[in-house]
Structure 1
């Protein structure tokens, strides 16, 4: 009987024009498994990796986002949109506060944010706002946190700190994933699969790290299913039934718990 062979080659090709983009080639997959693995990796890469994002801001002299700041070209809403584009790498699981200070006529960038040993600003050249007068001043307190996927303001506890404005947070560190499957030769056969992924991150993680983390998440889920022992559940149901429980109800309860675990 033919065994389903596993891939044994993986190659990362860095994009010379973009340090945050790479092509990943994995082969050879047993026929059909290129799409199975490619689609699974794509979904996990885009939805489930831990990243960091701006979650709240406090702008000096501003009580709400529907206002303006003297001598600043952008409105407050535009300023907040600019701050949301900051990409950061965090070395702690605890929320961190950053301070942005700028004076005089200038473009305000990520480089104007004060140093924090626990946070690296990946895109420090990002233009956040434009001050238009020599007397202009801008001071912003920025809260960054770790998380997964996308977290809208409505899904978080109501902000109680005076002057603090909550913002929708996009945590995912992977910005683009595309894949295709080509033919690969194994011996005399040419119907095996070669999986080619085009992946781009925000710079807070490398493409290699992203692929490893996504693969580890998939392995953890399938490991649970591979090691699941139905006989243990059957024994538990029989024992509880002997003690006077309703066997059908107990079985339904067991099924519900298993479904909950799988989720």
Structure 2
């Protein structure tokens, strides 16, 4: 946790004074709870056993992070693991095969691993894609899998493009996206679903920015995962344990 952040993230965001490294706090979590949206009821289908196994491995080691200080920040382990869980749910919803499901979950798990800070950090997706390509054997082994060149290219493409808005795709981006569109779209959607952790309502999930028909269906679950895991973390659980608690509470594994 930060030793210098004294005001809540909500207060800092309102003053446009958010620091480079941002850590959740009790006041911000209470603000998130007070602003719970009026959701349309929805719930995902049960996960396949093979997908549950992927989720069990989706917490990445801190040594994979470019900036270890981000491990417990708003782009750290809790965000990465929740994004992987949401990507897994979407992959199963779309009936991706086991290989593409694993590729999707892996991309989601590492998508922010090369961030230097919690602000926009342009290029962090490209850096993470390069890192993933260079460390593919390490990453897939962590998931008890073996990578194929195609798997690595698909995952790296999704990681690279996750930070690029669709309307800003270059011709090369569009060509890369076309080769693994569904995986890219799921990772972008899963990342966007986890935005309830952010301290401004205008930064919360918005289906306008994704290409995922099931996006709204997962909003209630995404919100609950944030609240439950952030509260567990503030109560003393590690980032990984906090998300695993939230996932188990929702009966996902």
TM-score (norm 2): 0.28
Which has the larger strand fraction? 1
Structure of greater Rg? 1
Which has the larger helix fraction? 2
